[in-house]
Chains A and B, each alone.
Chain A
């Protein structure tokens, strides 16, 4: 399945081919600092291919932030604009996911923890953090037995690269410990 990429209203939309079959799912993909949304087109298209082989029809929308950097002021509005764009282009169902690279992961988890109702954070069934990790502020310690846990209710996949020179694997190990 080949994807079609359209650039409009500062959202890169990667829609499945019209003849594609499978269960609809949608991913709102948030860029890292100083990246353009378009720099995620190839990796998002590869994900779309892998999803298709597993029986999913994946829609991906990637917003472009001011000064090429995701920020707290714009995150809700950009997520909402991507959801609107994906829906208006034919997405059906409720399988919404967030994906984020680097600093984008800080924004997505803050959004999910915010309890936002517009857009509704509870619509997202999972998030994928790439070169990013759940924040230390988002974990708690049990006073009873000293065990720690993250307060994030949304299922989260953290992907850490062993050759990552920024989000180093030792920081990922810390997150793994908790």
Chain B
């Protein structure tokens, strides 16, 4: 996985975006040409890694960018990580396969 800084949804294609995209997308921080170059480079690096070494890991930059999001999910006890335990009205029992809740509640 790689995070593309400043790239919007419509910049993965060209021409006039569909109405739904026009109404809901954000404006990219970088030019369309720069976005295309970024995508081309990441695709090439990925394919080259698959063909030469058999695999690829996310970059450190992506890991750094994602770190606060993951911490927010952990502090929230977010259900996008696992299903909520919902074992008890008051306090869930810590269980590996479900989210007991926010660590500070």
Which residues of A pack against B, CB within 8 Å? 23, 25, 27, 31-36, 38-43, 46-51, 53-54, 56, 95, 97, 99, 101-102, 125-126, 128, 130-131, 141-146, 148, 155, 157-167, 169-170, 172-177
Contacts and interface: CB of A to CB of B under 8 A. Distances in A.
B40 A50 contact: yes
A162 B3 contact: yes
Nearest to A156: B1
A33 B7 CA distance: 19
A172 B3 contact: yes
B1 A47 contact: no
A157 B1 CA distance: 5
A46 B41 CA distance: 9
A102 B40 contact: no
B50 A126 contact: yes
Contact of B82 (A51, A128, A148, A160): A148
A99 B36 CA distance: 14
11 contacts: A25-B51, A33-B18, A50-B44, A131-B12, A141-B82, A159-B4, A160-B1, A161-B6, A163-B8, A166-B24, A177-B73
